[in-house]
Amino acid sequence: MVDQQARATLALATFNVHMGVDGWGRPFDVAAECAALDADILIMEESWAPDDGDPSTASSVAEQLGYQVVLEEGLAHGRLFAPIPTASRRWSPWLGQLRKTLRLDLESWRTTAGPAGRSSVPGRWGLALLARVPVREPRAIELGRLRRDPARRAVVSCVADLGGREVSVFGTHMSHISHWSPAQYRRLGRLLPPPDTAAVLAGDMNLWGPPVNSFFPAWRRAVTGRTWPAHRPHSQLDHVLITEALSVDHARIAIRSGSDHRPVVVRLALS
């Protein structure tokens, strides 16, 4: 890991990697895309950890890029299916959500055969925090599972140093609004530190910017831009929110990725 205690900025990214495959189930080079982000701390949503003991998406990226996996939470169990044989150059099939590459065990509409009878691998779908700078006090904060959501939700967090001051870092992957995520947002708001501290919250919020702001009125969005769907984005679902103690030195939405989400990258400094 790179020692950045003396540095005046901290680069943070959030990236929903979609299990390292596209909508057809074809793998893409997750490590190369993460390397291009050049983040000191990386929040990774939808990391995939096979039950057979093979490395998870987060562990593979960490090994290749010199990160430490600070935390990895399995939020649901499911099956990752082999690529669809009729795959085209598009990111996914027409109405791709009807022929999903992943099916979680608690999804009510799952079938025994799986999508198009394809072979599959069981494993855990989750959330990870990776760091290449010294961090401490890693922990996971449970947000529970909403009745309509097939996955638990959680927040992974740590403390990093920035210009001699402590910065609390939080990463999450929230439920969809159709699952009634406002209940989780209110719960998360009670768990976050006071807005007069130096803190950052990043992740796939599954919600647009203005309503996210409404749940955290004392925080502000560090970057605005379209992140989903990656091949032709029309909405921002991936956000980085910061408190007044932090300022934005640089921010960007990364270029189109192999996932269905574009990563968000910010370089933070003290205000």
pLDDT of residue 5: 46
The residue type at 142? E
What average pLDDT does the segment 258-267 reach?
97
**Residues in CB range of 39: below 8 A, 6 or more apart:** 11, 12, 13, 132, 265
Q: Specify the pLDDT at position 99.
A: 61
pLDDT at 6: 60
Mean pLDDT of 102-128: 81
Q: Is residue 3 part of a domain?
A: no
Is residue 78 scored above 50 in pLDDT?
A: yes
Q: CA 7, CA 138: separation in Å to the nearest integer?
A: 21
Q: Is the pLDDT of residue 94 over 70?
A: no
Q: What domain count does the chain have?
A: 1
Q: Which two tokens stand for residue 7?
A: 């540095």
Asked if the model's pLDDT at residue 98 lies above 90, the reply is: no
What DSSP letter does each residue of 31-81 carry, written as one string?
HHHHHHH--SEEEEEEEEEETTSPPPHHHHHHHHHT-EEEEEEEEEEEEEE
d(CA 210, CA 219): 12
Q: Which long-range contacts (CB under 8 A, 24 or more apart) does 146-149 make?
A: 146/175, 146/179, 146/180, 146/181, 146/183, 146/184, 147/179, 148/178, 148/179, 148/180, 149/175, 149/176, 149/179
Burial degree of 113 (CB within 10 A; 0-12, 13-18, 19+) = exposed
What CATH code is carried by the domain that includes residue 166? 3.60.10.10
Q: Is residue 266 part of a domain?
A: yes
Q: Note whether residue 134 is domain-resident.
A: yes
- Give the per-residue pLDDT at 170: 98
Per-residue pLDDT, 186:
95
In a domain, 2, yes or no: no
DSSP designation for 226: -
pLDDT of 108: 73
Residue 84 has pLDDT above 60, yes or no: yes
Report residue 100's pLDDT band, with 50, 70 and 90 as the boundaries.
confident
- Is 157 domain-assigned? yes
Tens-digit pLDDT profile for residues 116-159: 678 999 999 999 999 999 999 999 999 999 999 999 999 999 99
- Give the DSSP letter of residue 116: G
**Contact indicator for 51, 208 with CB cutoff of 8 Å:** no
Answer whether residue 5 is part of any domain. no
In sequence order, which residues have a C-beta less than 8 Å from that of residue 161 and are 6 or more positions away?
Answer: 4, 5, 133, 134, 167
**In this predicted model, what pLDDT tens digit does every residue of 232-252 receive, in sequence order?**
999 999 999 999 999 999 999
pLDDT at residue 112, rounded to an integer = 46
Give, to the nearest 10 degrees, the angle between helix 57-65 and helix 30-37: 60
pLDDT at 89 over 90: no
| Per-residue pLDDT, 152 | 97
Residue 6, SS3 per DSSP: coil
Average pLDDT along the chain = 92
- In this structure, of 16-20, 23-27, 72-76, the range with the lowest mean pLDDT score is 23-27
pLDDT-derived band at 262 (thresholds 50, 70, 90) equals: very high
Within a domain: residue 79?
Answer: yes
Give me the domain span that covers residue 59: 10-270
Per-residue pLDDT, 117:
74
pLDDT single digits (tens) 154-181 = 999 999 999 999 999 999 999 999 999 9
- In a domain? residue 148: yes
Please, which residues bridge with residue 122 across strands?
A: 79
Phi, psi (rounded to 5 degrees) for 228: -145, 140
